Chain A
Amino acid sequence: MGMKADFKLIDDNGLRIDGRLPNQLRPLRMEVGVVQRANGSAFVEWGGNKIIAAVYGPREAYPKHIQDPNRAVIRARYNMAAFSVDERKRPGPDRRSVELSKVISEALTSVVFVERFPRTSIDVYIEVLQADAGTRVAGITAASLALADAGIPMRDIIVGCAAGKVDGVVVLDLNKEEDNYGEADVPMAILPRTGEIALLQMDGNMTYEELTNAMDMAIDAAKEIHELQVKALKEKYRGDEHDY
């Protein structure tokens, strides 16, 4: 956010630099069951983002002091590979990834029936292999697929989606240039069945009108993304019939 662009992000026809309409998603591909050793896993390719998520658990929580006698603790770890961005990222957690891991853990906890697995942890590892803006929402989308793949009971398959504002226009699913030079970004995680909001962040400069337009767009797109999630899950489990 915030850097000044010396080029137009929206052209005279109202199209974006990658040719998309304001309310159009980038190409999105999902695959379930990509990490053999994990209890559940998923790969999401979203625009230039390549993100893999894997779930381990529910398993006995360590260290012991994090155990909760009433529920499972969901520990999501959002991590960017050193080579995932233009300028090498120093490996290991930075302040940004600590914050994102926290809000992602909280969002996932809102859908999982955590009270069924006391004293356990459900570890969700999100690795950003290549980053192209919107990594946290792509990561959440992959993580909820991985949780479903692990057979962990949930009340919904959560969907991540972002909207924002570039050159004064409210747009869906910002790409890298729009994220760098745009005026606002609103990452959300939505429960597609109920429309509840499990993750909501925003930074930038927006009127109430613009902000609600952006949220409307993300909520609409969540349905489309959710269909792709269901399709990816069916893809894997349809194959199972022939295995037995």
Chain B
Amino acid sequence: MTTKFSEGVVAESKRTYINKLAQQGTRIDGRGFDDVRPIKITTGYIPRAEGSALVELGETKVLVGIKIEPGEPFPDTPDMGIMTTNVELVPLSSPTFEPGPPTEEAIELARVVDRGIRESHAINMEKLVIEEGEKVWVVFIDMHILNYSGNLFDACGIGAIAALATAKVPAERHGVGEDFPLPVEHYPVPITFAKIGEWIVADPNLDEESIASARLTVTTNEEGMINAMQKGLFGTFTYDEVKKVINRSLDIGKKVREIILGDINGEEN
């Protein structure tokens, strides 16, 4: 069985090797089970966009661009701005990605990132009203995958919040007052885990993701609240495993958030 989020066919010898390493408490790239690959964030990479972040999570590379434009509010939320999220699995980034309309993998990925940001109220949508019921700011979060090497959920989630936190609302260009920073008030961070045999590792790389039986993403914010979860793939988790994963994601999420905030603030200085 091959899916979009895998290397394609994985050699049986590699499968056995990864399992053997897991038994010894280590991983194919030498990490511990809770270690996340090195994170590098470059904000403001696309000056043409209202906000942007190039995120490298190990070899995985994602570019997130934020565009902000005036638009009509939804009838049931006349006093709130709008946010939309989209992922492009750009075919240049993996042999398993093909051109064409969004696949179910891309849709799921975008929706999981969307839920983390939306449910944590990361953006204060009430501050994005130009004229109540008539005109509000629409925030477009577009995520381009530039190199697929495992765990796009976390790379996209990290990129989205970093890009949002450094975005400016282009009010002047649209003749509705002065530009102002996008009101970002919370910092949700998704941490994804892969189940390999009976072991569960954080931030799976390409090899690990290719042989994982199940996947679980948990998005938490800086207050220690849980904002989103998504289980994927054909395997199952025990309840005990789920509880442990949630706790681990709270811990790892805290460390990753510090890296994100450090990088964002470094950019501003």
Contact = CB atoms under 8 A, between A and B. Distances in A.
Interface residues of B, number: 36
A2 interface: yes
Nearest to A216: B239
Interface in B124-170: none
Interface string B213-224: 000100000001
B119 A204 contact: yes
Q: Which 7 A-B pairs have the closest CB atoms?
A: A202-B229, A196-B236, A200-B231, A109-B234, A102-B104, A203-B115, A203-B119
B226 A211 contact: yes
29 contacts: A3-B77, A95-B110, A96-B111, A98-B104, A98-B108, A99-B107, A101-B104, A102-B107, A103-B230, A103-B231, A106-B233, A110-B235, A110-B236, A191-B236, A196-B237, A196-B238, A198-B231, A200-B231, A203-B115, A203-B118, A203-B227, A203-B228, A205-B120, A205-B121, A205-B227, A206-B226, A207-B224, A208-B247, A211-B226
Given A99-B111, A200-B242, A207-B224, A106 B237 contact: no
A24 interface: no
- Tell me if A's interface is mostly helix, strand, loop or mixed: mixed
Given A98-B104, A196-B236, A203-B115, A208 B226 contact: yes
B29 interface: no
B246 interface: yes
Interface of B: 1, 76-77, 104-105, 107-108, 110-111, 115, 118-121, 216, 224-239, 242-243, 246-247, 250
A91 B18 CA distance: 45
A87 B87 CA distance: 28
Contacts of B237: 196-197, 200
Interface in A66-123: 68, 70-71, 95-96, 98-99, 101-103, 106, 109-110
A70 B77 CA distance: 49
Contact of B118 (A2, A101, A103, A197): A2
A199 B231 CA distance: 6
Contacts of A103: 108, 230-232
A112 B31 CA distance: 34
A208 to B, nearest CB: 6
Given A98-B107, A186-B229, A203-B227, 16 more contacts: A2-B119, A68-B1, A70-B1, A98-B104, A99-B107, A102-B107, A106-B232, A106-B233, A109-B234, A184-B119, A196-B237, A201-B229, A202-B228, A203-B119, A205-B119, A205-B120
B228 A200 contact: no
Nearest to B111: A99
Given A103-B232, A198-B236, A201-B231, A208 B107 contact: no
Contacts of B121: 205
Contacts of A206: 225-226
Interface residues of A, number: 37
A172 to B, nearest CB: 16
A133 B234 CA distance: 25
A197 B107 contact: no
Contacts of A3: 76-77
Nearest to B1: A68
A192 B50 CA distance: 49
Given A195-B239, A196-B237, A208 B104 contact: no
A174 B262 CA distance: 40
A95 B111 contact: yes
Nearest to B242: A197
A207 B118 contact: no
A228 interface: no
Contacts of A195: 238-239
A215 interface: yes
B1 A71 contact: yes
